[in-house]
Amino acid sequence: MMGPMSRRSAHSLRFFGQWLRNPRQTAAIAPSSPELAAAVLAELPQGARRIIELGGGTGVITHALLDAGIAPDDLLIIELNASLHAQLQARVPGARVVQGDALHTAELALASGYLEHGPADAIVSGLGLLTMSRETQSAILQSAFACLGPDGVMVQFTYGPLSPVNQSLLLELGFAARRGELVLRNVPPATVWTIRRNRAKAIRPRTVHR
């Protein structure tokens, strides 16, 4: 029987293989560490129940969410990589696991039936926003926040200390970002950020129409 360290090594090798095959679809060279998963969960709003995960990868954060009490039916996972998507489908029975691009988060959430039960409380993301164009970042953020309730947040982890989204774009969209924990015990080291609507600007949440 494979122990925890052996499973983690197997995940790392599999993830590294996916990165080698398609580095533009896979933001990191190794799966998220348990320490990073814990730092991400610490930024979720109190009482958060319905979660959308962008870029499920090998499922490290997915399983941390489930272990924290998130019900599989309240979890939507969007993964672009076909191989990782298939693995997540097999490993997370009961959750909605959708293959698709985060550019279309709102459309994918609608098509999967997830939003029929109400908006999400939070979005967890490991997308490589830092490597994306301003236009792509804008489209992803707007589509993601279309799935959130008025108090919903996006918890984004990124590699290095810099904000994953430029301040000027955040202001343009009516969002604000707060830096959380820097996790050194991750490969590479990662910083957790929380993005939310800027209440000072009285931004109205976008409405998703079916």
> What is the CATH classification number for the domain harbouring 62?
3.40.50.150
Judge whether 94 lies within some domain. Answer: yes
Judge whether 150 lies within some domain. Answer: yes
Judge whether 178 lies within some domain. Answer: yes
Locus of tokens 């090594």: 9
Alpha carbon distance 67, 45 (integer Å): 17
Q: Judge whether 25 and 55 are in contact, CB under 8 Å.
A: no
Judge whether 25 lies within some domain. Answer: yes
What's the one-letter identity of residue 41?
A: L
Which residue range forms the structural domain that includes residue 193? 4-201
Q: Give residue-wise pLDDT tens across range 114-128.
A: 999 999 999 999 999
Specify the length of the chain in residues.
210
**Residue 193: Cβ within 10 Å count:** 22
Judge whether 209 lies within some domain. Answer: no
Least Cα distance to 22 among 76, 77, 84, 78 occurs for 84
For residue 181, give the H/E element and its range.
strand 175-183
Q: Report whether pLDDT(131) > 50.
A: yes
Judge whether 139 lies within some domain. Answer: yes
The number of folded domains in the chain is 1
Looking at the whole model, is its pTM more than 0.85?
A: no
Judge whether 208 lies within some domain. Answer: no
Range of weakest confidence among 12-26, 31-45, 65-79, 92-106:
12-26
What confidence tier does 82 reach under pLDDT thresholds 50, 70, 90?
very high
Judge whether 210 lies within some domain. Answer: no
Q: Judge whether 136 and 120 are in contact, CB under 8 Å.
A: no
What confidence tier does 30 reach under pLDDT thresholds 50, 70, 90?
low
Rounded to 5°, angle at Cα 77 from 87 and 30 = 55
What confidence tier does 210 reach under pLDDT thresholds 50, 70, 90?
very low
Q: For 174, how many CA atoms within 13 A lie in the half-sphere containing its CB?
A: 12
Rounded to 5°, angle at Cα 198 from 193 and 199 = 130
Locus of tokens 């272990």: 67
Q: In Å, how far from its chain's centre is CA 24?
A: 16
Residue 156: φ, ψ to 5°? -115, 125
What confidence tier does 200 reach under pLDDT thresholds 50, 70, 90?
low
